[in-house]
Chain A
Amino acid sequence: MRRITRIATVGIASAALALSATACGGKKSSDSTASSSESAGSSKSAAIAYDIGGRGDQSFNDAAFAGLEKAEKDLKVKGAEAEPTEGESEADKVQRLTELARKGNNPVIGVGFAYAPAIKKVAEKFPKTTFGLIDDTSVTAPNIANLVFNEEQGSYLAGVAAAKASKTGTVGFIGGVEVPLIKKFEAGFTQGVKDTNPNAKVLSAYLTQPPDFSGFAKPDLGKATAKGQLDSGADVIYSAAGLAGSGAIEATANAGKWAIGVDSDQYNQAGLSKYKDKILTSVTKDVPDAVYNLIKSVEDGKPQTGEIRYGLDKNGVGLADSNPAYKSMAEITAAVEKAKADIIAKKITVKTAP
């Protein structure tokens, strides 16, 4: 019993200190909230709220930042950014978007489907601000622009190229996290491979299961999984795994096999220059232009609204051809061009789920 009392005193004392830490903030609430009134649409500034991983992920978030950077340069808008904390809840996302909108940023762009419920709530509170939502069309409002991509179409082309480039008839797909979005990549890729070579084998693997999103962030996981697929005979590996994909590219290139990159043209990525000769191609997703176009539309006074879809037809998704080795393989490029034309002409419909 005595021990308990002592522990209790310790607890109370530490608690008192903790309280004083929070309490000194509390006093200022009246004057600081005064500055937080709505000033939407007044200044030339745009904001991005990042997905898990934040800036520096060499992938999705960096692509969004590239769009903001371009707007900063070309349109002279001021860019603001905010990153999520791991393990945060919807309330934190609402708070982040509210703060960005309250500071007068227009548009405010949420990167990733996780922002959908939060944008729905915040968009109601700031009707004069345009909100961009990437990868989601489930919430709509006059001041929400849903920026979505036909990832499966680009992945289909990658499947065609992989099936043509493979000598063993076995190709690999590595997804970062097993979520519907990444399954779109898998579905398109598999269909592309099978349509080109019905006897080909596609090995599919996901690095982590949600809500563990580290599969987008851990290159070592990508490396180990790629090694496993190489051991099983795969000689072309397509990884849609954000930063983890660089590990897969490293393992594949070291084994002298072909790697296919994702999101941006990874052949030209400085961090991967050591392996670029073995990066056959990359499935590109033009997030930078989607972000830039939205910012520009707001600056022009005609803000985008509703679903803005980027497919093969608008070069919103595509297959990079910066590797000279890839360009020299006439048979592959011809097959890819034909598939591309067929998809645009709607002769081929690409599935969005495996």
Chain B
Amino acid sequence: MKKFDKDRLLLAAAGPTLALISAFVLTMIVLAASGVDPIDPLRIMIDQAGYEDVQVLIVNQAGIYFLAALAVAIGFRMNLFNIGVDGQYRLAAMISAVVGAKVALTGPLHILLIVLVAMATGAFWAGIAGILKARRGVSEVVSTIMLNAIATSVIAWLLLPKNLGVQPAGSNDLTTGDIPESGWFPALSLPGGDIYGFTFVAFALGVVYWFVLNRTRFGFDLRASGASESAAQASGVEPKKMIMTAMLISGAVAGLTGMPLLLGESHTYNLSFPLGIGFTGITVALLGRNNPVGIFFSAFLLAFIDKSSAGLDQNGYAKEIGTIMQGLIVIAVVVSYELVRRYGIRRQQQKVGEELAAGHALKTDNKEVAA
């Protein structure tokens, strides 16, 4: 039994190690091939992460990626590919910013209201894809991608001054008006800047995610539906209800993605509110293998690459090196996880073969490695 654990651990470590090493080697090859010093940009990036203000940026960004990735991961665990996180969080941030700017409540209530509105909006938008999937069998991949585009147009329309938007005097920006100070989430002030308070809420949510998925009946049903829908159905899980619930929860968490920024930084939804976080969230969830701890660290890795590559500009390198690195990591992760999996299976088959040849009884434990 102990022997197998060691094997398993080695195999498990091999995947990400292989992925990260090959990603970095590939990055260096790309840099060298384009006639750039392959080591210096990486050194600058690591240097950059030494600055306190860059560290604060990394932590804040990691919190945002963490939320987006959690939203994606909930879907992944039951084989639902929610590509619509991007549209869900933007619409949620916009609507909740409007509500937040219109009402005045005492501190915690105000924040709670904004957060609840964001979750409800995100869930609503994801729920559309959920209904289409459950009732009509529309692939959620297609519907969520389309809903992203629709969300963009809906936001652009709602943000017009004749609807919900505000154009501040002398500005070419469109905003939803400023949320009064009672709706600002307290931040942790450090010498390098403020860490959004909501970042801690984000990480706490990771614990909730782990608990719900691994320690509740609902979590079991969800994972069972993901592993085999027919088997789950046979054991009494109602697939349509599961699809709806998973989509709604995924959307609600997606709705939170914009909260660190809205409650901690901009206090309004404007034209330069970031987009694309939902897609980075997919990368983070894949890299972290849908596991909260894995997602936590991969969110930090991607935030690190993001923020520390920004400084490359000033040192004579293209900051797109960071983008290349992120892309290579994704490819390397997919390839190396698959390689390691196949190697594991082959190794196990060999072992079984050897044991059978030697005439020993087959241990049932052997199956574990393949699982």
Instruction: Give me the interface of A with B, judged by CB distance under 8 Å.
Output: 2-4, 6-19, 21-22, 24-29, 31-33, 36, 80-83, 85-93, 95-96, 98-99, 103, 113-114, 116-117, 135-138, 146, 178-181, 209-212, 307
Asked if B170 and A138 make an inter-chain contact with CB atoms under 8 angstroms apart, the answer reads yes
Report the stretch among B115-123, B138-146, B308-316, B352-360 that lies at the interface: B308-316
A-B contact pairs, 12 of them (CB 8 A): A4-B223, A11-B291, A12-B293, A15-B293, A18-B20, A25-B45, A32-B47, A83-B319, A85-B306, A99-B314, A113-B173, A181-B172
Given contacts A2-B371, A85-B306, A210-B271, contact A29 B301 (CB under 8 A): no
Q: Chain A interface secondary structure, helix, strand, loop or mixed?
A: helix
Q: Can you name the residue of chain A whose Cβ is closest to the Cβ of B271?
A: A210
Q: Can you name the residue of chain B whose Cβ is closest to the Cβ of A36?
A: B51
Bound form: Cα–Cα A179–B167 in Å = 11
Q: How many residues of chain B have a CB within 8 Å of chain A?
A: 78
Cβ-closest 7 pairs across A and B: A11-B294, A15-B297, A25-B49, A14-B16, A137-B170, A28-B50, A138-B171
Bound form: Cα–Cα A29–B55 in Å = 9
Asked if B57 and A92 make an inter-chain contact with CB atoms under 8 angstroms apart, the answer reads yes
Minimum Cβ distance to chain A for residue B252 (Å): 22
Bound form: Cα–Cα A83–B276 in Å = 18
Asked if B55 and A6 make an inter-chain contact with CB atoms under 8 angstroms apart, the answer reads no
Asked if A8 and B291 make an inter-chain contact with CB atoms under 8 angstroms apart, the answer reads yes
Minimum Cβ distance to chain B for residue A21 (Å): 6
Asked if B272 and A114 make an inter-chain contact with CB atoms under 8 angstroms apart, the answer reads yes
Bound form: Cα–Cα A85–B214 in Å = 37
Asked if B313 and A14 make an inter-chain contact with CB atoms under 8 angstroms apart, the answer reads no
Minimum Cβ distance to chain A for residue B51 (Å): 6
Asked if B272 and A211 make an inter-chain contact with CB atoms under 8 angstroms apart, the answer reads yes
Give the residues in chain A near B17, CB-CB below 8 Å: 13, 17
Asked if A25 and B50 make an inter-chain contact with CB atoms under 8 angstroms apart, the answer reads yes
Asked if A14 and B288 make an inter-chain contact with CB atoms under 8 angstroms apart, the answer reads yes
Asked if A29 and B51 make an inter-chain contact with CB atoms under 8 angstroms apart, the answer reads yes
Instruction: Give me the interface of B with A, judged by CB distance under 8 Å.
Output: 8-9, 12-13, 15-17, 19-20, 45-55, 57-58, 60, 90, 152-153, 155-157, 159, 167-174, 193, 214, 223, 261, 265-266, 270-277, 280, 287-291, 293-298, 300-301, 304, 306-308, 310-311, 313-314, 319, 337, 368, 371
Minimum Cβ distance to chain B for residue A330 (Å): 37
Asked if A6 and B8 make an inter-chain contact with CB atoms under 8 angstroms apart, the answer reads yes
Contact of B300 among A18, A96, A116, A178 (CB under 8 A): A18
Asked if A11 and B55 make an inter-chain contact with CB atoms under 8 angstroms apart, the answer reads no
Given contacts A22-B301, A98-B53, A211-B275, contact A116 B266 (CB under 8 A): no
Q: Can you name the residue of chain A whose Cβ is closest to the Cβ of B13?
A: A13
Asked if A22 and B294 make an inter-chain contact with CB atoms under 8 angstroms apart, the answer reads no
Given contacts A6-B371, A29-B51, A136-B170, contact A117 B266 (CB under 8 A): yes
Minimum Cβ distance to chain B for residue A258 (Å): 28
Asked if B294 and A14 make an inter-chain contact with CB atoms under 8 angstroms apart, the answer reads yes
Asked if A33 and B301 make an inter-chain contact with CB atoms under 8 angstroms apart, the answer reads no
Bound form: Cα–Cα A2–B277 in Å = 32
Asked if B51 and A9 make an inter-chain contact with CB atoms under 8 angstroms apart, the answer reads no
Minimum Cβ distance to chain A for residue B113 (Å): 23
Asked if A85 and B12 make an inter-chain contact with CB atoms under 8 angstroms apart, the answer reads no
Of A3, A24, A96, A138, which is in contact with the most chain B CB atoms at under 10 Å from its CB? Answer: A138
Give the residues in chain B near A81, CB-CB below 8 Å: 313
Asked if A22 and B311 make an inter-chain contact with CB atoms under 8 angstroms apart, the answer reads no
Minimum Cβ distance to chain B for residue A80 (Å): 7
Of A11, A88, A181, A209, which is in contact with the most chain B CB atoms at under 10 Å from its CB? Answer: A11
Asked if A8 and B153 make an inter-chain contact with CB atoms under 8 angstroms apart, the answer reads no
Bound form: Cα–Cα A26–B266 in Å = 27
